[in-house]
Structure 1
């Protein structure tokens, strides 16, 4: 079944479709009104694996409505700065945005739980929480207080831990390190002596090159290769314990979304779900090749030591306990994710982990 057919059927189901012959022309027009929206992205066009999710949503929606519902996509900075995308939706400047919830932790730390937190959920568990574990409902109860509604619309999978100008072997090596990193992760690393830096994406490379900062993180091999960080900071660490499965959301102005026909709401829901699946699939496919090329170009892979991981985990738990003591929204969302994590890892270590470990050993032995 092609995408056009799939979304047309999904839209019809969402509207409680009836045979077209039974509807008068005015009724059809009423159920399929002309709607023109603008979407502002937090990402540049050059980072296509992320940016293209927004254009995929727009294409799916247009095809499913025979062009009656159109979404014009704008790259980061074309309408508003990238980290103000959700604000533009809340105020009605645009109807929709494609951005990360954790960009807005300055408003409330609970925003972090919409994307990823240190030692949070992996991509599989993130989707499980959103789609089956009540996460989407809980998160939108929180978002409603900010005038927006959101749907998962992308996931990068576990990210890399970033680029460092020197080796980081112990917790002491982190002390005084100037690293471009923000949000809750910056607060966790600050407990270990890191000096978090908040820089616009365009400023990161020159800051690394000049030594103004010592390290940066972004996404993973496919995007990092495009950004060229390996040329100025050769040590490439893994994993990003702060982003085990980060979600990118489609944000909608709450009133605008609620005023759409139910069929259009359903089409948006299904278009975002497809974009969510496609983004993860793209990164899973492209990261492997990009990683090989980065190593060939001089990147030096290094794992974070167990000492650093343990110290970071403990610092994160201290931070969460402090936030939950005064933030009911964070507490509700965090405890919901923790409950799923505790149960799911019992299962995943039995089946997923043992299967994947065996297959990885076969790959290393050259048997695949």
Structure 2
């Protein structure tokens, strides 16, 4: 009889341990989210949670609408809030219990917001999708697009700080990013600066021209890789680190890039013949109004990212021009003006997200939090 009791006890213990393992494993699965790109690759009917931005309502295999929604039955999510390529979207089936809260006809303000959904990863509208949805959670609204960045914890150590303490905190956060080679910058720029209306093209920084992704090289009308923080300002060249940092590398027209050279940024000069509303003189360059803020925020990023530790250069913004080979860039007062004049736009946000997600795994904090510019350089 005692042997039977022992056997029964051992059996119960094994069952308890198995149940505990299953519970722990299920809990772990429930809290781990896939990206949309991962979910698109994993269309095997497995149950998973996916995290992404609401980008529209699918109505066919290759069509997603962004207004005039006819019903609340489906939505599309992507890894970036500005995605327009349906091949990079996951189609979500919305069951009746979630339609009052997550249907786009009833809640058009969800566009651009970030959500988590769980269900079976399987085709919907003959497109990579998620069906039999069991859970839908709002992470951040479109009115606060940075609320959910990096699961809401990326900038935790910077919140509430100002001045040098804020700058130090941000440097620690964005430091030690993944570096790529200068040769790989070509391919990266084809993704980061893709024309949102033509995926075969990139947008050139100074001219604003949409040009074939593969029309790059040294020809007079080709595009090449512009170092917005001129690489001679610190003499870092094209070495991995500041020389290949995508947060300040942009595709530009070859001849316009040449006319900019290594000049600091400031207002005034002679009108450039190729780039609209662009001026330069012997020691400064003024880009068109639509990208003035973009340029300023790239320069501010470089100042914070490269602070002289780990054998790196200490890059600093100053209030002069003609900085030459010194690790300085100007002109601070003008860049602060440009930052206010030209606020962050969706192209910048989209670019920041791609660099963070696919390449360097760090962000430009002045795109996510423009108010931190004044908090540091007041």
| TM tier, smaller | under 0.3
TM-score normalised over the length of structure 2: 0.24
Larger radius of gyration: 2
Bigger share in strand? 2
* TM-score normalised by L of structure 1: 0.25
* More helix by percentage: 1
